[in-house]
Amino acid sequence: MGLAVELNDIVYRWRRDRPVVLDIPEFSVPVGEKLFIAGPSGSGKTTLLNLLGGVDLPERGEMTILGERLDLLSANRRDKFRADRIGFIFQQFNLVPYLSVVDNVLLPCRFSAPRLARASDAANEARRLLGAMDLPVDDLTRRPVADLSVGQQQRVAAARALIGRPDLIITDEPTSSLDEEARRAFLDLLFAEVQSAGQTLIFVSHDSRLADAFDRTMALADVNRASVLETV
Ligand X SMILES: Nc1ncnc2c1ncn2[C@@H]1O[C@H](COP(=O)(O)OP(=O)(O)OP(=O)(O)O)[C@@H](O)[C@H]1O
Q: List interacting residues with ligand X (CB under 6 A).
A: 14, 18, 21, 39, 41-47, 206, 228, 230
Nearer to other proteins by Cβ, of 49 and 220: the residue is 49
Residue type, 74: S
Eight-state DSSP code of residue 81? H
Told to check if 58 binds other proteins by CB under 8 A, we report: no
Residue 1 Cβ vs other proteins, minimum distance, rounded to whole Å: 27
Nearer to other proteins by Cβ, of 112 and 199: the residue is 112
One character per residue 167-186, x = contact with Mg ion (rule: CB under 5 A): --------------------
Whole-number CA gyration radius for the chain: 17
Residue 232 Cβ vs ligand X, minimum distance, rounded to whole Å: 8
Q: Tell me if 231 sits within 8 A of 42, measured CB to CB.
A: yes
Residue type, 62: E
Eight-state DSSP code of residue 34? E
- Pick the stretch among 39-47, 105-113, 193-201, 221-229 that binds Mg ion (CB under 5 A): 39-47
Q: What is the DSSP pairing of strand 3-12 with strand 22-30?
A: antiparallel
Q: Tell me if 98 sits within 8 A of 50, measured CB to CB.
A: no
Number of H helices and E strands in the chain, helices first, is 9, 9
C-alpha angle with apex 25: 76 to 219, nearest 5 degrees? 95
Told to check if 46 binds Mg ion by CB under 5 A, we report: yes
Applying CB under 8 A, among 112, 175, 199, 205 the residue interacting with other proteins is: 112
What is the binding site for other proteins (CB under 8 A)? 46-47, 49-50, 53, 55-56, 75-76, 79-80, 82-84, 88, 90-91, 93-99, 103, 107-108, 110-112, 160, 172
